[in-house]
Amino acid sequence: MSVVKNALPEADLKVVGEALQGALVDLVDLSLVAKQVHWNVVGPRFRSVHLQLDEVVTSARTHSDVVAERAAALGITPDGRARTVASAGAITGVPEGWIKDTDAVRILVDALSTVIARMRERIQATGDPDPVTEDILIGLTGEFEKHHWMFAAENA
């Protein structure tokens, strides 16, 4: 049941809904991964990496809210529950315990690469059915590409 009606045809709404839900899962997953690494990073670059990780967390949390609210505005119920994120998230490679600063950077580069690739697929999928959603995804992808560049430069 949808309590919100919109102008999108049902087929377009399905495509856009899947893109928004997938984006939400990836953003929640990224925020949790970055925070986990943030709590456990050690090494000579601890402080700079620690602070940089919080920037990613802030971006992911801010954009997850925008994505979830876009879904709700279209009548799609956003699902950011832990079990949903755990079952549909695509980020891998976060070990338990302390994480050396160089490994922390590598983990974030890999996580951001995964999220960016999936967002670019969603950008392609939503361009025709809903340019508003496409625009949201373009904006957040650009921001995460900047984070990716900054982390990649840490271990260059």
Check: CB of residue 120 under 8 Å from CB of residue 108: no
pLDDT at res. 4: 75
pLDDT at res. 7: 84
Token representation of residue 119: 């967002």
| 6 — pLDDT class (breaks 50, 70, 90) | confident
AA letter at 28: V
CA 155 to chain centroid, in Å, comes to 22
CA distances from 134 to 19, 32, 54, 86, 105 (A): 9, 24, 26, 25, 29
Query: Could you tell me the pTM of the whole model?
Result: 0.95
pLDDT at res. 2: 58
Task: Tell me the C-alpha distance between 148 and 156, whole Å.
Answer: 12
pLDDT at res. 146: 98
Task: Tell me the C-alpha distance between 42 and 62, whole Å.
Answer: 26
The arithmetic mean of pLDDT across residues 13-40, rounded, is: 98
pLDDT at res. 65: 98
Model pLDDT for residues 72-111, shown as the tens digit of each residue: 999 999 999 999 999 999 999 899 999 999 999 999 999 9
